[in-house]
Amino acid sequence: MVRIVLDCMGGDNSPKAHVEGAILALKCNKYLHIILVGNSEEILQELNKYKFDKDKVDIIDARDIIYGYDDPVNSIRTKLKSSLVVALNELVDKDYDAIVSTGNSGAFLAGCLFIIGKIKGVARPALAPIISREHGRFILLDSGANVDCNVKNIIQFADFGRLYYKILFNERNPIVKLLNIGTEGNKGNSVIRKAHEELSNDPNINFKGNLEARDIFNDDANVIVCDGFVGNIALKIIEGTSKYVMSVAIKDISNFFCII
């Protein structure tokens, strides 16, 4: 049984969206057990809308909330009864398998560092979203956790991404590329150039050079590596472009039917 702690009060439409997502996850995977953390009354109100195996859901009451505008580090230190902090402590105390939160990403990262801690030898964690494209998907990391990175960070991100993709998608030797301003090995700032050199000589990483941002959705890279500043900008551009294309498509479809 995989036991997942879910912060139900972080992010938009909480806890409605979180409870709905938990129920959908339980329907998709019979080996899940989900611990919902947040305002117990509101969570129960949402749960009552669904039919599910009650033995696979637990609720832990936590009334305080860390909002998107809260200072990440300060909120983790002061809002000890918030759903996020309570969820993180539950993960550690009960040795649960994973935690999910859609709230303040900075606070989530800070909480993971302060409460869970890092694996020995890891310099910094990274945000690594999985992004779909026409032919499969790719992991983009770092997507915003570390604005300033050194060569060691970039190398570790490449290794994290490789292992993460390999485990998730059963890919024996994932293709790793650096997000850069050109495909040539001498392009980019000093950190990226040095990282390119070291990755090229790393026998454990299937490194295939640089990748320009315009080719993200047309390339065969499984893991795209960059610092958090570049990665977050890339991620936000992807999000914004997707929303724009969707709105234009909906508008055009509506106009088409109006003409008919």
Contacts for 3 with CB less than 8 Å, ≥ 6 apart? 33, 34, 35, 94, 96, 97, 98
**Percent of the chain predicted with pLDDT > 90:** 86
Residues 109 and 140 in one domain: no
84 & 185 share domain: no
The span from the CA of 108 to the CA of 67, in Å, is 11
Its pTM stands at 0.85
d(CA 11, CA 104): 7
96 and 144 housed in the same domain = no
pLDDT > 80? residue 260: no
Cα dihedral sign, 192-195-201-202:
negative
- 66: pLDDT strictly greater than 90: yes
pLDDT exceeds 90 at position 15: yes
CATH of the domain at 174: 3.40.50.10750
The tens digit of pLDDT for each residue in 69-123 reads: 999 999 999 999 999 999 999 999 999 999 999 999 899 999 999 999 988 889 9
Pick from 162, 160, 170, 173: nearest CA to 119:
160
98 and 6 in a common domain = yes
The range of the structural domain enclosing residue 71 comes to 2-116
Residue 222 has pLDDT above 70, yes or no: yes
Name the domain count of the chain: 2
Read off the pLDDT of residues 23-59 as tens digits, 9 standing for 90 and up. Answer: 999 999 999 999 999 999 999 999 999 999 999 999 9
How many CB atoms lie under 10 A from the CB of residue 79? 19
Whether 17 and 50 share a structural domain? yes
Confidence of residue 3 (pLDDT cuts 50, 70, 90): very high
User: Does any domain span residue 125?
Assistant: no
Q: Is 249 helix (H, G, I), strand (E, B) or coil?
A: helix
Nearest residue to 206 via CA among 184, 168, 174: 174
- Answer whether residue 94 is part of any domain: yes
